[in-house]
Amino acid sequence: MTTTRRLAAGLCVLLACLSTSAPPASAADEPEQAPPRVELVLDVSGSMRARDIDGGSRMAAAKKAFNEVIDAVPEEVHLGIRTLGATYPGEDKRTGCRDSEQLYPVGPVDRTEAKTAVATLAPTGWTPIGYALRGADADLGTGEGTRRIVLITDGEDSCGLPDPCDVARELAAKGTHLVVDTLGLTLDAKVREQLSCIAEATGGTYTAVQNTDQLASRIKQLVRRAADAPPEEPAAVEGANRCAAAPVLTPGVYTDRQEFGQHRWYRLELLPGQEVRASVSVAADRAVNRDYGVLLRAVDARGRELVRGTDAGGGRTDAVSAGLRYPLAARDDVDLDDEELKPATTAVCLEVSNSFSAPASVKRTPGMPVELSVDVVKSPDRAYDTAAFGLGRGWVLLGVLTLVGLLAGLLWGWVSRWRITVRRTN
């Protein structure tokens, strides 16, 4: 009996050890998410010597803010630091416009090492913002996960090429969901215009900073924002130059690029009794001429136009949008909920075109950002007619209007006769 109890006790201990050491199956099966990555890009050009922030230099304010940010970086965020204008004090433009290097690699933060690296900085050279943005993009790498650049500068790019706005558009067009936020340490109008352009091209924000506390607070806010769960990103798609070659879309949100005056085609497959609802927005991420427009239209396989939506304007805009709805006529022998009775689908093509134009000095590539939203639903009412969508079936509408007109005529005649009778009586 004693031996049996010992064996049983040993078996229980063994099972307990196995149960505590083995990880849960669900945890082991979950894919590891890529950490959010942020790179701070700091202007260390000669103009950062200016003493106009809290009684000290702009460089001193930036160092103090960076130390606070480094202390507050969330554990899950991989942070890096890149400088521009930090090493070359000379007059050679070619050399000065390549003066950008990574000060601290993107990864888990060793707070002591990061602060030590920042402490060595001193205002030195040029302001190659475009070149530094390309370097920061490479530092952050590719793959899944949030990618964010926070640019802190007190001046506009002093090199000209590559143009920072063009670089921002190129980075956005790569489809890696990179966001660039910009912080200006001066209220200069040209600086504000350039930094706003960079931020708008990538879906980021621009902030004018006037004191150290505001600078530290804003950078910490942007770094924390990178750690937040990102919203579902639209799917990238490349529209064709004709309906027959267009990619087939399902309900969802899509992003594309479109040059000035370009036409982009996309295709949908509809069943009888279904309705497509689509909208498109084209963002003006660069200087454009005053008059512009966007057209979204649906056509059938033979090229016959079914319905269209348009929008146009003649002033400053950030985006122009248009939308449409088109129901495919229902059939009595079709039940969308019955797989056996479903017929073949009907192709409907969506064409997106624009009438944007720009001065010759404005770069045409990459194209402007396009966001296309598509939904396919069951038609709300079979009384809708595709030839008179939104008004009702033709004969029904005619009958209703005739009846209303007859009743209105009778009522008006009765009122007129009553008024005449009253006048004669008086």
pLDDT (tens digit, 9 = 90+) per residue, 147-202? 999 999 998 899 988 899 999 999 988 877 789 999 999 888 999 999 999 998 88
d(CA 257, CA 236): 9
Q: Name the percent of the chain in helix, strand, coil, to the closest 5.
A: 35, 25, 35
Higher-confidence residue: 143 or 36?
36
- Burial-class residue 340 by CB neighbours within 10 Å (0-12, 13-18, 19+): exposed
Among 129-133, 216-220, 265-269, 420-424, the range scoring the smallest mean pLDDT is 420-424
pLDDT of residue 398: 66
Q: Is the pLDDT of residue 74 over 80?
A: yes
Non-local (6+) Cβ contacts of 75 within 8 A are 108
Give the pLDDT confidence of 101-115 residue by residue, as tens digits.
Answer: 999 999 999 999 999
What value does the CA radius of gyration of the chain take, rounded to a whole number of Å? 32
pLDDT for the residue 284: 84
* Comparison of pLDDT for 326 and 330, the residue scoring more: 326
Domains recognised in the chain with CATH numbers = 37-227 (3.40.50.410), 235-388 (2.60.120.380)
pLDDT at 370: 92
Cα-Cα end-to-end distance for the chain: 125
User: Measured at the alpha carbon of residue 270, what is the angle toward residues 267 and 276, in degrees to the nearest 5?
Assistant: 80
Q: In this predicted structure, what is the pLDDT of residue 339?
A: 56
Q: Is residue 28 predicted with pLDDT exceeding 50? A: no
